[in-house]
A and B are shown apart, each in its own frame.
Chain A
């Protein structure tokens, strides 16, 4: 089982529709074609040290994707703000990780909109 993390804390899975899965090595040139018409895109994070998913998320939003965007796999609480700033709506983690890094540690980064240099410089 897994836990869905949003700004207001932990949730059970609540999506029953179709999902477009993207691996971290997805060709950036294919992003628009792969996600055309999708309502939910789930980007895999096989290891927390692999940051490709952040760029994929940001580029999907830049291409105009407005559906639900989920970062799934090994994302740690310290990366929650990075995921949100990169365009993800939510993070999906394992029960084991949710037990080790409980809800409070994620909610501590629910203020991801504060203190962001890039947003300030982009305007």
Chain B
């Protein structure tokens, strides 16, 4: 894993000192509230519904055990004993005091972490596949490139006051577990012959105007990445709209000007600045790549694991749902669900964080990941150790075997925390999870992605949920729209609205009607919800939702 260079160390310490001075200058009036706002935002500090919120970056979702323990320490010392993992590989603390924030930033710097550019109209935390470096299906580990982009974009003088926020995601696998098509810039590592480069997508995003990113370059040589990104962001900085914040994202810039016009402007700027880059960035990248060398994998046999699968049904259920294929045959990727039925999606207590850090130290080469689906991943675990890990997770209440199932819901914080929210999302997620568990239908229904947003900004990614739920405010009353057929993977699609919305207490029954219709019409157990939807379209689900009432109207 990446260890800070002296340059990184000096940078975060200097930045922490600058932020401490900015808080003081706000308090003494040197900075107006208007001027302080973007400065605190570019250091991860939001003003939420009840308090300040600090969003800490977990660059490319990778954490060392000691970093996870420090997050637990911060949660206990400065917050209410827990933190919230987000869909963009950040952790949010919802209750810090403004005057404590500089100390928290120092505590983060102590373990080579920061909250820089997790907010504001600037290039945000670069996200990637939570299985990076472990997955059996990747072209290359995307994390070294993500670290290179982190360094390049950090405090980039030209790009701190963009028209709007700017999110980059990168995947090393065509399976795309990083939702690159819904990002301002999406990068996919690809091979052309023996040469590794990038497929570059631009102008995707969710929010009130969901768009899937088109391809701006089919193949970009690896060494051209930084100047090409610089050309894209520079072009957007000048061309992006600043008259209306709802039209300021790059997806609108690309859409309104047309991809060809935008591409021509980017390529012209790229040709001009490419010679400014001497190639030293590739030397830095080579140094970063060396640090991401895989650990020395244990050579333990798998017989004990296979025996346990045969005799322990609880373990087998967990293994079926929560393990993914590792590139090394006798290892597995473990996803620890922190979405026990009825729990808040994304929340983790300090005790849970410490336990996960200990498990990572004992069984996982000291490494953890945070997935965009708000779970914690142990990327490298020898299969021989899986029964022991499972037993410890069971004792801690962390062995929920629901990864990829109905209760593995992405939900934004919603009206329980967020100043922008127009409806609750967490309680809806909790009720869906507990309802279907009580019915005993979750395993029968199988793989499905339900995603819930509490306002039109779509932080819960509802547009790309197989079933999406969007909570709105209709004349002071919560109203939930349901979308069907969205997808976040390689077959990315924006879900279509099923029809009129539902009141808060009608949402769970509506979801049940959709899923009972699916069970009745699927071709067989092996056909998942989204596959049935792709085969039959929305009609049978709309009928299940609105049925005769709609026909009569």
A: residues with CB less than 8 A from B are: 28, 48-52, 54-56, 58-59, 62, 76, 78-79, 81-86, 100-102, 105, 108, 114-118, 120-123
Contacts and interface: CB of A to CB of B under 8 A. Distances in A.
Nearest to A83: B157
27 contacts: A48-B161, A51-B159, A51-B161, A52-B237, A54-B157, A54-B160, A55-B237, A59-B269, A62-B272, A62-B273, A78-B18, A78-B22, A86-B157, A86-B158, A105-B25, A108-B21, A115-B11, A117-B155, A118-B152, A118-B157, A120-B151, A120-B284, A121-B148, A121-B277, A121-B281, A122-B278, A123-B280
A82 B30 contact: no
A64 B449 CA distance: 53
A59 B234 contact: yes
Given A121-B152, A123-B279, A54 B158 contact: yes
B14 A115 contact: yes
B152 to A, nearest CB: 5
Contacts of A28: 238
Nearest to B155: A117
Given A49-B38, A52-B237, A123 B278 contact: yes
Contacts of B32: 100
B264 to A, nearest CB: 11
B14 A55 contact: no
Q: Nearest 5 A-B pairs (CB), nearest first? A: A51-B161, A123-B280, A123-B278, A85-B157, A82-B157
B208 interface: no
Contacts of B11: 115, 117
Prevailing SS type, chain A contact patch: helix
A100 B159 CA distance: 25
B526 to A, nearest CB: 49
A40 B199 CA distance: 42
Nearest to A108: B21
Contacts of B38: 48-49
Contacts of B35: 48, 76, 78
Q: How many of chain B's residues touch chain A, expressed as a range?
A: 35 or more
Contacts of B31: 76, 78, 101
B276 interface: yes
Contact of A50 (B29, B30, B159, B161): B161
A14 to B, nearest CB: 25
Nearest to A120: B7
B290 interface: no
A85 to B, nearest CB: 4
Contacts of A76: 31, 35
Contacts of B277: 121-123
Given A58-B157, A118-B152, A121-B277, 5 more contacts: A49-B161, A82-B157, A83-B157, A115-B11, A122-B226
A85 B269 CA distance: 19
B396 interface: no
A120 to B, nearest CB: 7
Contacts of B7: 115, 117, 120
A55 B31 CA distance: 24
B209 interface: no
Contacts of B15: 115
B278 A116 contact: no
A99 B92 CA distance: 37
B298 interface: no
Given A62-B272, A81-B157, A100-B29, A117 B278 contact: no
A102 B22 CA distance: 14
Interface in B17-34: 18, 21-22, 25, 29-32
Nearest to B236: A55
A28 B236 CA distance: 12
A83 B158 CA distance: 8
B157 A122 contact: no
Interface in B245-295: 269, 272-273, 276-281, 284
B370 interface: no
A60 to B, nearest CB: 12
B250 to A, nearest CB: 14
Contact of A122 (B39, B158, B269, B281): B281
B156 interface: yes
Contacts of B237: 51-52, 54-55
Given A51-B160, A108-B21, A121 B284 contact: yes
B30 A117 contact: no
Contacts of B278: 122-123
A58 B235 CA distance: 12
B317 interface: no
B284 A105 contact: no
A99 to B, nearest CB: 10
B319 interface: no
Q: Which of A51, A62, A105 has the most CB of B within 10 A?
A: A51
